[in-house]
Structure 1
Amino acid sequence: MSTTVESLFVIFLLVFFEISLSLQLPTLQRKLLKDGFHRDIQTIVEIPLSLFTQREGMKCRCLYKEFLPSSSYVDTFQLKSVSKHLGFDYVSPTLDIEKPEYQENTFSIFSILIYTDLHVNSDRVISNVTFPIHLRYHLPATDYRNFSIMNPGVLIQCNNADYIGEIMRTEQIPCTPKEDILCEWNVIKYKSDVNDIRVEVPVGNTNHTVLVVIGTLTVTFGSCLWIVYKVLNTKIKQS
């Protein structure tokens, strides 16, 4: 009987410990803002202040590893102009923003680094970043095209505090985008309601092909006749 009680007690402690760890995990929230081909991705990370050894005057930064599929891209010139205003810095490959999706490698995943600060707010440390993305043009179809943007990797680096939450691994990454000095960044475990963002891309409807072709030819032919009429009418008046 005592063995059974001890086993139940151990199971209870394990469950309690697991729930306690789950409640302490950082949380990630993701939203896709705006409509059409020009969108914004908002990412909010909240980390319990109790997961840091130093709580007064702590200085920590957050780094997002974003992975964009070939159906989307970021405009580096746009990022350069808006990043300071939106409170982040970045490292991004130079991409051909004019290339449509069907000319891009379907299996390409583009990695973008987003640097930002962590701010203490009451009992939590928060990072809130919004950056613009764009959708590539797709071939016509009978319905919307869909693709997914996976959740980012979240890394933190502190100068005067230690993170005591669950660390998946450490990576050597430049301290800032403007220098080659490497810092040790901790890849932290977090919880999120979603694993990715589903994106619908507006495309031309192939069911409307005949209507579009007839309409285009009619407008073009009518415009040509109108131009010829105006030219001939002008010459007759001048003569």
Structure 2
Amino acid sequence: MDRFGFVAVILLLQFKCLYCVEDCDVHATITRRIENDGFHRDLHSLVEIVVDHADLWINCSVILEEKIPAALYVNPDQLQELQRFKQLSSCAAVMGAVNIELPEAIATEHTVIAYSPLQCTQNLLSAKLSLPVHARYRAPIPGGGHVEGHLNSPRLFLHCLEDTCLRANAQAAANFSCQPCVEFTGKNCSWFSLPYETNSVTMNIRIPVGNSDLRAIVVIVTLTITWTATVYVLSTIFLKHRKGKSIS
């Protein structure tokens, strides 16, 4: 290649890079909502990313990194079951170990990542991600009622086959599996963190709490039922044993 050709290639590459960066404007939003009541909820997140040129965002996927507080937990066994029967709109995994039996007082927060490919419609990239979230047991309080658990906004990470635009808009990068739904422990790729707007920076979840004023009544009723059931079982066994002896 002569000198003129070499210079032409360099200029073409610079022009392509400049074109890409100038047309890399992106606006991301996450719309969050909680379904169901009581101790068992479903968390739904709709990720929408508006871009100037969809052809510059090729084969993109999204990860939401959720920090689950001590008042809540995500059951890893339930996630595997739901994914096996294709009952989740996305795939997810708990990072590290989580003890679902612990009460809130001695539990710690844990991290969950939810993953989904982004669907492209004209200049809109979108994905729906869901997680089953459960409230931990909390010690009863006078009067009972409800307390609020707080779930903060997740971190949004993207990975695209062509990441020039992504790098131009990213705030930071992290390593996750390239295809989490296929290989959570496989090859890692760089996922770029994007800023976004949301309808709820902090989600408040009302958690039922027992009434400590009813402690005496609960103890009396529980003991009464337990002793009644025990006497019934023992009397049934005794009568059957006695009847067997009389027949023999």
Relative to the length of structure 1, the TM-score reads 0.75
CA apart distance, 1:160 = 3.4
Retained in 2: the 8 A contact 1:62–1:156? yes
Equivalent residue number for residue 185 of structure 1: 191
Match of 1:100 among 97, 100, 103: 103
Equivalent residue number for residue 11 of structure 1: none
The percent of aligned pairs where both chains have the same amino acid is 23
Question: Which runs of 5 or more structure 1 residues have no equivalent in the other structure?
Answer: 1-22
Match of 2:27 among 25, 28, 41: 25
Relative to the length of structure 2, the TM-score reads 0.72
- Please say if 1:116 is aligned against 2:116: yes
Q: Distance in 2 between matches of 1:45 and 1:115?
A: 11
For 1:185, the aligned partner's letter is W
Equivalent residue number for residue 7 of structure 2: none
Structure 1 residues 205, 47: closer, same or farther in 2, change over 3 A?
Answer: same
SS at match of 1:146: strand
Q: Deviations along 1:132-183, whole A, 9 cap, x unmatched? A: 1222111111332322111110011110364367422222333133244221
Retained in 1: the 8 A contact 2:50–2:123? yes
CA apart distance, 1:214 = 3.4
For 1:117, the aligned partner's letter is P
Q: Distance in 1 between matches of 2:92 and 2:234?
A: 55
Retained in 1: the 8 A contact 2:116–2:129? yes
Question: Which runs of 5 or more structure 2 residues have no equivalent in the other structure?
Answer: 1-24
Match of 1:88 among 73, 87, 90: 90
Q: Distance in 1 between matches of 2:59 and 2:155?
A: 20
1:28-107 pair list within 5 angstroms: 28-50=30-52, 52=54, 54=56, 58-83=58-83, 85=86, 86-92=88-94, 93-104=96-107
Q: Distance in 2 between matches of 1:115 and 1:82?
A: 14
Structure 1 residues 156, 99: closer, same or farther in 2, change over 3 A?
Answer: same
Structure 1 residues 53, 103: closer, same or farther in 2, change over 3 A?
Answer: same
Equivalent residue number for residue 218 of structure 2: 212
1:1-16 pair list within 5 angstroms: none
CA apart distance, 1:128 = 0.5
SS at match of 2:139: coil
CA-atom RMSD in angstroms? 3.0
SS at match of 2:171: strand
Q: Deviations along 1:108-143, whole A, 9 cap, x unmatched? A: 321112221100134311110112122211111133
Match of 2:205 among 188, 191, 199: 199
SS at match of 2:209: coil
1:121-132 pair list within 5 angstroms: 121-132=121-132
Retained in 1: the 8 A contact 2:92–2:131? no
For 1:49, the aligned partner's letter is V
Retained in 2: the 8 A contact 1:53–1:163? no
Structure 1 residues 87, 214: closer, same or farther in 2, change over 3 A?
Answer: closer
For 1:94, the aligned partner's letter is A
Structure 1 residues 132, 231: closer, same or farther in 2, change over 3 A?
Answer: closer
CA apart distance, 1:198 = 0.8
Q: Distance in 2 between matches of 1:78 and 1:213?
A: 33
Structure 1 residues 125, 228: closer, same or farther in 2, change over 3 A?
Answer: closer
Q: Distance in 2 between matches of 1:170 and 1:233?
A: 73
Count of residue correspondences: 212
Moved more, 192-201 or 214-223: 214-223
